[in-house]
Amino acid sequence: MVRVRGAARPDRHETALALWRDAWLDVLLPIPIIAVGMVGTSHIAAESGERPVDALTFIVVGMAGGSLLARRRWPLVMLLVVAAALAVYTAREYPGGPVYLTGPVALYSFATANERRVAYVAAGAMTAMLMAVRLVTRPSLGGDDLLLLAWAAAAVLAADAMRGRRERAAAALERRRYMDEHREGETKRRLAEDRLQIARDLHDSVAHSMATINVQAGAASRVIGRDPQQATEALEAIRIASRDVLNELAAMLDLLREGDAALRQPTPDLGQLGALVASSRRAGLDVAVTAEGDLGEISPAISTTAYRIVQEALTNVIRHSGTDAATVTVSRQQGQGLDVEVADLGAGLASPANEGSGMGLVGIRERAAVTGGSCEVGPRP
């Protein structure tokens, strides 16, 4: 059994849940950062005796933490606000504290939303700016400044790792979608080929028998009153042709129902030309068969194809040629391909009732092309 599955589509409930989760995270993340920044800065200032905090301190801490609300929608604006807030905080020589953690968080958020090169440039520019501000207020850099540099590098590297993970996941999803689409396309192609093969076989086998039935039914209706014996023979030919149709349909249904098991059943080939000729003769067509060359080494596929081509050609002769005689020549020269020729001396019928759809000739050409051959149709030179 073959199961075809399409690419999994995200559930709308799961998508909505993910959006709500991201929204709540965007709202909740700045709150502890702002709270810890304000409390921590006040505590450090009180313990160290450095410059005490004032209203501007809390404004700067609030700006740095609050800007993280825009980290998904406007990452560049968020990064610029954080950088400006930290620059003011550093220039005012407030004591070092948790507010500087907003820098790595902002860099990480910006880096995950942009290309690797842009992220590294932004991290370098932000760090260089803060170092420059620090050097304006202090004669040299200290350990806290190196820690800030390490935090910035860690944030960008973590974002780079996350970006790589997302890219790999997206690539894997794209490959899976491609494979699903390719598998679906291949399945459709095979189904189309199977339908075409079934249509060819039904046309070749059933059309021949139905042509025989049509001809014999017409003959029986014409002679039933004056020649009962000939009418009986025509009806017998109809019975045999009907049986052949039923057998062909039963074989086709077995193939559709049983699949590979039915494929192991024998298929008609050139060895059964005698039965095909007999069937054509019952339809009133005298067929002469000529075999030339070594036909024993023909592959089963080519032999079956040749049989079907002859069958369809004789059906066309019966239905459209208006003659009662035809010749079939099957020849194969050493080291060359198989040549099949079906010829008749008829001029064709003008009756619309005998006009065909042209699908028989299309089927002949397609069968020949499948085995690497070609087909020529037309009057004799």
Region 170-183: what's the mean pLDDT? 80
Take residue 58 and report the two structure tokens written for it. Answer: 């809390």
Residues forming a β-bridge with 204: none
Return the domain boundaries, the chain: 12-141, 188-370
pLDDT of residue 41: 66
Q: Tens digit of pLDDT for each residue in 126-174?
A: 888 877 877 777 766 666 667 777 777 777 788 777 777 877 888 888 8
Could you give the CA distance from residue 311 to residue 291 in angstroms, rounded to a whole number?
Answer: 16
Q: What pLDDT is recorded for position 6? A: 36
Tell me: pLDDT of 96 over 50. yes
Please give the span between the terminal C-alpha atoms of the chain, in angstroms, as a whole number: 53
For residue 240, give Cα distances in angstroms to 223, 245, 287.
19, 9, 18
Strands 286-293 and 325-332, by their bridges, are parallel
Q: Could you tell me whether strands 338-344 and 325-332 are parallel, antiparallel, or unpaired per DSSP bridges? A: antiparallel
Band (pLDDT 50/70/90 cuts) for residue 8 is very low
Summary mean pLDDT of the chain: 74
128-145 burial, b if ≥16 CB within 10 A, otherwise e? eebbebbeeeeeeeeeeb
In angstroms, the CA 95 to CA 40 distance is: 10
Please tell me the predicted confidence (pLDDT) of residue 140.
Answer: 65
Query: 53: Cβ–Cβ under 8 A, 6 or more apart, which residues?
Result: 41, 42, 45, 94
Domain 188-370: state its class: alpha beta
Looking at residue 10, what is its pLDDT?
A: 43
Report pLDDT digits (tens) over 340-375: 888 887 765 544 444 455 557 777 888 788 778 888
Q: Which residue has the tokens 């502890």?
A: 32
Which pLDDT belongs to residue 38? 66
Q: How confident is the model at residue 205 (pLDDT cuts 50, 70, 90)?
A: low
CA 105/CA 85 separation, integer angstroms: 14
> Would you give the DSSP letter of residue 100?
G
Token match 């209203």: residue? 55
Tokens of 316: 């066309």
Q: Hey, what amino acid is at 131?
A: M
